[in-house]
Homo-oligomer: A and B are copies of this chain.
Amino acid sequence: MAVIPMWQCDRDGSMFADKKAAEEHDRMLELAECLTGFLQNHLTLEDDAAEGIGLLLARNKELLAKALKGKPDVLLESQPEAEEA
């Protein structure tokens, strides 16, 4: 039988067959952690609320970037997916 190379993201243990996808996932989680840390540096927020917000923002990075570049209303067009409430 063959052995197949897999890539594990050590931030959350998720596995990927494709290295690029694993790296992208890792960058997204890093951004989420930094956003969470930023929020908690400036505001009083429960850990899970801050983590949920950091993850939500990091997952919607492209949308956020568009909003920051002068199209804030794109944020209101986006519909919830299966988000942790």
Determine the main DSSP class of A at the interface with B: helix
Interchain CB contact (< 8 A) of A64 among B52, B64, B85:
B64
Q: How many copies does the complex hold?
A: 2
Given contacts A43-B56, A56-B42, A83-B43, contact A35 B67 (CB under 8 A): yes
The size class of the interface chain A forms with chain B is 35 or more
- Evaluate contact between B67 and A68: CB separation under 8 angstroms: no
Given contacts A43-B56, A80-B42, contact A34 B75 (CB under 8 A): yes
Which positions in A face B, CB cutoff 8 Å?
27, 30-31, 33-35, 37-39, 41-45, 49, 52-53, 56-57, 60-61, 64-65, 67-70, 72-73, 75-76, 78-80, 83-85
